[in-house]
Chains A and B, each alone.
Chain A
Amino acid sequence: MAKRSAPEVNAGSMADIAFLLLIFFLVTTTIETDSGLNRKLPPMEDQVDPPIIRQKNIFTVLVSKNDQLLVEEELADIKDLRSLAIEFLDNGGGVGDEVCDYCQGKRDESSSDNPDKAIISLKNDRETSYKVYIAVQNELVAAYNDLRNREFIRLNPNLGINYVEAQKKYDDPRTSLDKQDELKPKLNVVKLMYPQKLSEAESSKSS
């Protein structure tokens, strides 16, 4: 008797309710994750005695308030920045202890000794526009990535991926731990060959 008195629940409106929720989540969804250029700021404490860096090991890039580019005190186009930076980083002009056996540059004595010593100094004006600054940053990172790709492929020819792809794979949480452990030393070797030494000086005051 009791069984009979329990009526069947009408499930006809279930689809409507689900549709309502579905549409709500469809509208509020943003699936894409943000991406950008990672940078590390220098810590605030002043160094007691700054290391002495020889002028030839510094590659100065200055973005003026009119968004013009001065590379090593010469006016340059942003299209050439990547190749200029690669030329500088890959120069390997050092001798003796400072020799760079994997560099493929010109080994010009007036340019950097080895990639470990080579420092890119990026300066900007307060009036520089952000988009040009990002374009310059992008090209400098690209120079490092190009060199790291080259070395990564040379050292791991059977892996079939370049440095950037390997790094992406390493950062991907879906990659298994074994694979990550396998990639880590390979990535670190290349990172040490071309360490990213990019100094962002405080901007000059615009007059």
Chain B
Amino acid sequence: MQLYKRKEYWNSPTMSWWERAYLFEIVRGLSITGGVFMQNMWRWMTGRKGALTTYYPEETRSDYAANNRGKHVLTQRPDGTPQCIACNMCATVCPAKVIEIEAGFDPDDPAHPKYPVRFEIDYSRCIFCGLCVEACPEDAIRMVKEVPNLPTFDRRDMWLGLEELLTWNPQSDVAKPYPGKRGDRQDARKP
């Protein structure tokens, strides 16, 4: 009398006697993993890297996409001043509210009387959405594919300021003509 009959599943695995013997399949599995170990170990011992891992802070990946939204760049005018006119549109659109701009008044530049005294991005909260780049009317802020190198033990180190954003990867807006400030341009408008 059979008390219990095991249910037959339509997709129950079928194994040949070789696989049922179990030992040979174990040997095969062990030789696969052992082979991978030997292969990677040989790479390490001959001075190459035997792993797919990137050592993160020491080593950054080189294969970011060309349009990757990484670290911000503030573009500059030919004389090195920021293109930013401190209009606060990026700070307004920013969903994470990470941009802080303190505007200053420059009477010498009637075309751009406002300029940023302070322009800071809090990378500990930035979500890299790129809305600041889209909102900017002056093409003053861009994002490039390189990512910011931020691992640190102090969160205050994750605020990047005007100087860093202008100088780490200087870019200028060549499409837009810039007449220069009052002192150094020829056809200066009279106030």
Tell whether A and B belong to one assembly: no
Chain B residues with CB under 8 Å of chain A are none
Chain A residues with CB under 8 Å of chain B are none
